[in-house]
Amino acid sequence: MRILFINYEYPPLGGGGGIETQDLAQELAPHHQVYVLTTGYQDLPSKELKNGVSIYRVPVLGRTDLPTATLISLITFFPAAFFYGLFLIPKIRPQVINAHFAVPSGLPAAFLAKIFKIPLVLTLIGGDIYDPSKGISPHRHAIMRWTIRRIMHCADRLTAISHDTKERAIRYYQAGEGIEVIPLGFVPPIEPSLEVKKEENEVLGEKPLRFATIGRLVPRKGYFDLLRSFAQINDKNAVLDIMGDGPLLLEMKEEISKLGINERVVLHGRVSDQKKYEILKQADIYVSASHHEGFGICFLEAMYAGLPIIAPNIGGQSDFLVLGRNALIVAVSDLEKITKAMNQLVEDTELRKAIGENNKRDVEKYLIQNTAKSYELIFEDIIPA
């Protein structure tokens, strides 16, 4: 098959939605011809062959950093991708287009699919249709709801990364029940150094208990709730490792100072995959106070590292995090409950161990090859014979 993915974010740009497209594209590349149309940025090459995937990057206005897109960059991706697609598609002749994010990726994908009569699969990620932390979230505005409904109508098949995303597509955009839920696929790390056991460090002496969390520093991730809860836990020697970069960095530094926890919070910034797993392997508990996740690939990463998890009760992670088995589940923005869950795992080492062991086993269900096979079946079904 010749497959064209359209996603306005693709590593090194963006967060989980871009990583998801990259993992899927690279998994399919050994058996298919795979192309990606995405956003350009600074000195990134406009055309690149990487891990078997042909990547085409188009210039947009207003992109100011790697982790997050600006409104103007989202708006200008549509004409840039559309006009570049008019040139690219006759050259690569894709048999199917798979757009990730209804907006902005779905808009040029819908026009190009119609013009060239190519089947379109639209994948809903979560933040593209619902983000409770943003006043400009599409679900709040009639024009955006209408636009997304039209894009969905143009697709030959709709997929969503979680039942939460599917339900919001039905609630806010009157999408049909035929949306197929395909979870994000997890790619285990391959570096031998990631297999370091925490016990090797513990024999050197008493070490502080460590919490870890991953995510862009944006309002939706609920970092201020997390910091305020962490400041109240009983163990005043515990450390919080935060991996991620974004526009809230300076505000978070001010909050950390105000709470008096400068010595206990480590802001690692954007980290490599190897560094990320090194930090997770040295952690004792994974914690998130996010206000909403479309799926939450970070939870699978924590599960792979054998960590017990504290997670919010709203979002796509509800598909695979079972209360008591995989995580302690707390209400969004309930600082008292978040702190209570932290204290419970701090004090109950047996519970930490039991949940961690469950997570190492359960993550196997979400390997990338299972996700890729689901997409292959859809693509084969809608490509004309």
Q: Which domains does the chain have, with CATH numbers?
A: 2-187+367-382 (3.40.50.2000), 192-365 (3.40.50.2000)
* Residues 192-206, mean pLDDT to the nearest whole number: 47
Q: Specify whether the CB–CB gap between 273 and 245 falls below 8 A.
A: no
More confident of the two residues 385 and 72: 72
| pLDDT, the chain, mean | 93
Structure tokens at 148: 């997304």
Q: Which residues pair with 57 in a beta bridge?
A: 38
Q: Specify whether the CB–CB gap between 17 and 125 falls below 8 A.
A: yes
CA dist 255 and 222 (Å) reads 13
Whether residue 352 has pLDDT greater than 90: yes
* Residues 35-46, mean pLDDT to the nearest whole number: 96
CA dist 327 and 286 (Å) reads 9
* Residues 263-268, mean pLDDT to the nearest whole number: 97
Q: At what angle do helices 297-304 and 349-362 cross, to 10 degrees?
A: 110
| pTM beyond 0.85 | no
- DSSP conformation class of 107: H
Side-chain half-sphere CA neighbours of 113 within 13 A: 29
Strand pairing report for 96-100 and 47-50? unpaired
pLDDT for the residue 191: 58
* Residues 206-212, mean pLDDT to the nearest whole number: 91
The H-assigned helical ranges of 29-70 are none
pLDDT tens, position by position, 67-76: 888 999 999 9
Q: What percent of the chain has pLDDT over 70?
A: 96
Whether residue 199 has pLDDT greater than 50: no
pLDDT tens, position by position, 186-198: 999 875 444 444 4
Q: Which residues pair with 323 in a beta bridge?
A: 327
Q: Maximum distance among all alpha carbons in the chain?
A: 66
pLDDT tens, position by position, 361-383: 999 999 999 999 999 999 999 99
pLDDT for the residue 133: 78
